[in-house]
Chain A
Amino acid sequence: MLALFYIFIAVAFSIGIWQVNKLLRFTKKTITDENNQEVIAFVQSEENPLATEKNNDLNGKFLLAFLIAFYALMAYCLIFLNDIMLPESASVEGENDDNLFLISFVLIGIVQFATQAMLFFFSYKYRGVGDRKALFYADSHKLELIWTTIPTIVLTGLIGYGLYTWNTVMDLSDVDNPIIVELYAKQFIWEARYAGADNTLGRGNVRNIEGINTIGIDMTDENSADDIPVRELHLPKGRKVVFKFRSQDVLHSAYMPHFRAQMNCVPGMVTEFGFTPKFTTEEMRRQEETVRKVAGINKIRKAKGEDPYIFDYLLLCNKICGASHYNMQMKIVVEEEAAFYSWLKKQPTITEVVQ
C-alpha cells in the first residue's frame, strides 16, 4: 500500500510542477510602453482567470462524480467497517443507548444521503453552460417554514428519547442492593476496591496514602475495615454495580466501551456511574459479533506472527493523563454471581493487607 502511495504522491507532484510551469510560461512579445515606444517584453501566457463554460461543464461533472464516489465511500464504511464496531451492549442500561444510537444513525444517514445528493446534483445540473439564465428567487415563507418545522419536530422526538435514556442511566438514587465498587485512577494504573460485607466504602483521601495503603483508605473509619482492594475487576452478571470514581493525581476517565459506560475521575471529588452486566465474559466470547471481530483481529495477528487474541472486557483511560495514557488499562471479568462471590471471598480485606 505504501508503494502505491508513493506513486500517488509522485503523480500529484508532477501534475503540480506541470501546472506551475504552465502558470509561469512566459512568451516574448512586442508591446508599447507608456512613452509609445515599442519594446520587447516577456509576457505571461494568457489564461482567463474566470471560470469558462468549459470549466463549468467539467467541474460540474466532477461534482457529480464526487457525489457518487462519496456514496461509495459511505457504503463501504457502513458495510465493511461494520465488523470492527463494538458488539452489542454488555449492560442492561446500554440497550436503550444502542436503540437510541440506531435511531439517530438511521435518521442522520437519511438526511446525509438526501442533502448531499441535492447539493451535488444541483451543482451539476445548474452548472453554467449554454445560455443558462438564473432564476431570481429570493425568498419563500412556505419553504422556510417547512424546513424549520420538520427538524424541530424530529429533534423534539430525539431530545425526548435522549433525555429519557440519560435519566435512566444516570439515576442511581433508588438502586436496590447494588454492588458498590470504587475505581481508583492514578498515572497510569487502575485499582479497585469492593465495599465488603457492610456494603459501604470507607472514606478515602490521598493524605492517607502510606506504604501498602496505596489508595489512601482512611483506616480510622469503621466502614473501611472490611473493604477489599484489588487489581483486577470482577463483576457479577445480572446485579447492578454502582461505581464510585476517584483520582489521585490528574483527570482520568474510566471508559468501559462494551458496557456503554464512561465517567471522569476527578481529583478532589467522587463521581458515580452504574450499570448491570448482561453477559458473562464467556458468553460475550461466544456472541456472534464478538466472534466475527475477534476472528478479524486474529487474522491480522497471525499474519504478523503474534499470539491469538482472546476477548476480554476492558477498562481504559479516556482522558489525556500523561506519557503512558495510551496504556492505562485494567481487565474486567464478568461471571455468574456465585463465581463472583467465591472469587471475592478469596481476596484479602484491607485490614488483612495492612497487617
Chain B
Amino acid sequence: MSEHHHKETFVTKYIFSQDHKMISKQFLITGIIMGVIGVLMSLLFRLQLAWPDHSFTIIEAFLGSHQTDGVMDPDMYLALVTIHGTIMVFFVLTAGLSGTFSNLLIPLQIGARDMASGFMNMISYWLFFISSVIMIVSLFVEAGPASAGWTIYPPLSALPQAIPGSGMGMTLWLVSMAIFVASSLIGSLNYIVTVLNLRTKGMKMTRLPLTMWTFFITAIIGVVSFPVLLSAALLLIFDRSFGTSFFLSDIFISGEVLHYQGGSPVLFEHLFWFLGHPEVYIVLLPALGITSEVIATNSRKPIFGYRAMIGSIMAIAFLSTIVWGHHMFISGMNPFLGSVFTFTTLLIAIPSAVKVFNYITTLWKGNLQMNPAMLFSIGLVSTFISGGLTGIVLGDSALDINVHDTYFVVAHFHLVMGISAIYGLFAGVYHWFPKMYGRMMNKTLGYWHFWITAIAAYGVFFPMHFIGLAGLPRRYYTNTAFPLFNDLADVNVVMTLFALLGGVAQLIFLVNFFMSITRGKKATQNPWKSTTLEWTTPVDGIHGNWPGKIPTVERWPYDYSKPGHDEDFVMQTVPLKEGEEES
C-alpha cells in the first residue's frame, strides 16, 4: 500500500474509487436503491393478494401495459414475485449486506490499509452495478421481465411459449446473474486473501472479531457454490438459444412437439440449489456476525462462547453445502437421497441452537444499551428462532410432502433469512454509520423504525404459516379460484395491511439515513465504546485508514467489563497487564 498521498480527482474518489470504505458505501447505496424497488414490488403483489380484482390507481401507474383497469395481469404477478425474490436475495441481502460490510470492516477490523487488491474490489462493485442496471432494464422489455419464479426452473424459464417472461426478460435475467456471479466471486476471493494475509501484528485468527469470521467463511462458501450457478445459467442459455437439451426433454407445447430429448429439469434443480441453499447462509452468516458484534458491545459483555461460535459458524458453513436436496424431496429424485438430505438438514439445527443460546447468555447479566442497532440485533435473534424452528418441519422429508411450496415455506424463509438478514443489515448500518460518514444517525427515528418494522414483520409472516398449513400454494395470482380457500381471505388482508405498514416504516429509515449523511451529529472516535480496531481510526476516514503506523493487537476483541480495568471496555490495542490472562 502506498504511503504517499496522491491527489484524488472526483472520479477516482467517488466513482472509480479503490478505497474499500468508498466501495462499501457504493455497495450500500446501490443495495438500498434495489431494496426500495424490491419492497415496492412486494407491496404491489400484496395488494393483489388482499384485494383481487380490485382496481388500484397505483397499479395502473406502475405496471403500464401489464394491467387492465388497475388490476395486474397474472403474468405480471408472477414477474413481480420473481424479480422481488431475485432482487432481495441477491442484490440486497448478498451484495447490499455482505458487499457493504465485508468491504467496510475487513481492512478496518483486521488492521489493514485496504483490501489485498483495491483494483479487483473496484471491479467487483462495477460488475455488481452493471448487473443491477441490466436487472432493472429487464423490467421494461415489452413481454415483461423474467417470471418463472426466482428459482427459474426450466422448462418454464426456457420456453417463451410457456410464459411471456421467458423471452427477452429471461435472457436479461441470466446475463445479469452471470455478471453478478463474477462480481461476487471477485469480491469473495479478495475478502479471503485479505483476511488470510493482511492481518496486523498480533491479530491471530483466534483474535478476530466474529464479524471477520462470518465474512471470511461466507466468502469461502460463495467461492465454492456461486460458480455452480454460473454453469447452470450458461447451460440454460445453451438450451434456450442454441437448441441443446441439458434440462429439456419430451415437450409438447403450443400444438407442436419440440426437438429436445434426454435432458432433465431435475439436473437444473440440483445445480441451482447447490448454490441456492448455501446462498441462504451467504445471506445469513454476515448478519449473524454483525449481531455478535453489536450484542457484545451493547451488552457490555464478552460474546458468550467465542470458540463455540466459531465452531458453529464452520459447522453451519460445512453443512450448508450438503443439504441442497431438501428443496427437492418431491422433485422425483430417488427417495433414498431424500433420506440423506433430511439427515444432514436437521443436523444444522444443532449449531444454530448453539448460536441462539450463546446470544441469549450474552444478554444475561449484561448492562444492555438499547441503541437502535441493539434492538435490531435482538429482533434478529427473535426472528431467527421463529423462522429456524419451522425449518425442523420443512427439513423433514415426510412432513415436507404436504407443506412443500405452500405459504408455510414462504413464512419460514422470510423470517429466518429475509427478515433476520435485513435486521442484520439495519443493525450494521446504525452501528457503523459513524465509521462510514463520520456522523451519527438519529436515535429517535431509529427507535420508531425498529418498533414499527418489528410489529409489521411478525404481523405479516406469523399468520402466514397458518394459511400454508391450510394448504394454500404459493405463487397463486389469486386464491379465489378455490372456495376451499375462501376463509383465508381475511388473513391475507391483515397480512397486506401489516406489509404496507412495514413498507411505510422503511421511509423513516431512508429519511434518517440520507439526512444524517450531511446533517447528522458529528461522531466521536469511538461512540459505542467498542474494543475493535476500526474505532482507532480517525473519524473522517482517510485513505490508508491509519495516519501513522498500523496498531498492534494485544488481546481478543471482547474484553468488555473485564475485572481489573477502570473502564468497561479494553481496546484490542491495549497490552495485557502483568499477570492478566487473555480470555
Which residues in A have some Cβ–Cβ distance to B below 8 Å?
A: 1, 5, 8-9, 12-13, 15-16, 19-20, 22-24, 44, 46-51, 55-56, 58-60, 62-63, 66, 69-70, 73-74, 77, 81, 83-86, 94, 96-97, 100-101, 104-105, 107-108, 111-112, 115-116, 118-120, 122-123, 126-128, 132-140, 143-144, 147-148, 151-152, 155, 158-159, 162-163, 165-167, 169-171, 186-187, 205-207, 209, 216, 245, 248-251, 253, 255, 257-258, 260-264, 266-269, 271, 273, 293, 296-297, 300-301, 309, 314, 316-327, 329
When chains A and B are docked, how far (Å) is the Cα of A208 from the Cα of B368? 71
- Residue in chain A with minimal CB distance to B353: A151
Known interface pairs A47-B443, A134-B301, A162-B346; 16 further A-B residue pairs with C-beta atoms within 8 A, sorted by A's residue number = A13-B504, A46-B521, A47-B521, A50-B527, A50-B528, A112-B389, A119-B381, A133-B367, A137-B365, A155-B349, A159-B346, A255-B473, A267-B155, A309-B486, A323-B75, A326-B477
Q: Are A321 and B515 in contact (CB-based, < 8 A)?
A: no
B330 proximal to A (CB < 8 A): yes
B563 proximal to A (CB < 8 A): yes
When chains A and B are docked, how far (Å) is the Cα of A296 from the Cα of B523? 58
- Residue in chain A with minimal CB distance to B253: A249
Q: Are A104 and B78 in contact (CB-based, < 8 A)?
A: no
Which residue among B156, B305, B390, B515 has the maximum number of chain A CB atoms within 10 Å of its CB? Answer: B156
Which residues in B have some Cβ–Cβ distance to A below 8 Å?
A: 73-75, 78, 148-149, 153-156, 159, 162-163, 248-253, 257, 262-266, 299-308, 330-332, 335, 338-339, 342-343, 346-347, 349-350, 353-354, 356-357, 359-361, 363-371, 374-375, 378, 381-382, 385-386, 389-390, 392-393, 396-399, 401-402, 404-406, 440-445, 447-448, 451-452, 454-455, 458-459, 462-463, 465-467, 469-471, 473, 475-479, 481-484, 486-491, 493-494, 497, 500-501, 504-505, 507-508, 511-512, 515, 519-521, 523, 527-528, 558, 560-563, 568, 583
Q: Are A108 and B390 in contact (CB-based, < 8 A)?
A: yes
When chains A and B are docked, how far (Å) is the Cα of A44 from the Cα of B304? 40
Q: Are A74 and B162 in contact (CB-based, < 8 A)?
A: no
Tell me the smallest distance from the CB of A180 to a CB of chain B, in Å. 17
Contacts of A266 in B (CB 8 A): 264-266, 331-332
Q: Are B385 and A116 in contact (CB-based, < 8 A)?
A: yes
Contacts of B148 in A (CB 8 A): 320
When chains A and B are docked, how far (Å) is the Cα of A174 from the Cα of B265? 29
Q: Are A100 and B399 in contact (CB-based, < 8 A)?
A: yes
Tell me the smallest distance from the CB of B49 to a CB of chain A, in Å. 11
Tell me whether A66 and B454 are in contact in the complex, defined as CB-CB below 8 angstroms, given that A104-B392, A325-B476 are known contacts.
Answer: yes
Q: Are A262 and B488 in contact (CB-based, < 8 A)?
A: no
Q: Are B476 and A250 in contact (CB-based, < 8 A)?
A: no
When chains A and B are docked, how far (Å) is the Cα of A56 from the Cα of B523? 21
Which 6 pairs across A and B sit closest by C-beta, in order of nearness?
Answer: A268-B249, A257-B471, A49-B440, A170-B335, A59-B370, A206-B252
Q: Are B251 and A147 in contact (CB-based, < 8 A)?
A: no
Contact of A253 among B330, B527, B568 (CB under 8 A): B330
Contacts of B357 in A (CB 8 A): 115, 143, 147
Tell me the smallest distance from the CB of A158 to a CB of chain B, in Å. 7
10 pairs from A and B in contact (CB 8 Å cutoff): A5-B497, A81-B463, A84-B470, A132-B367, A135-B561, A138-B306, A187-B162, A249-B162, A262-B404, A301-B483
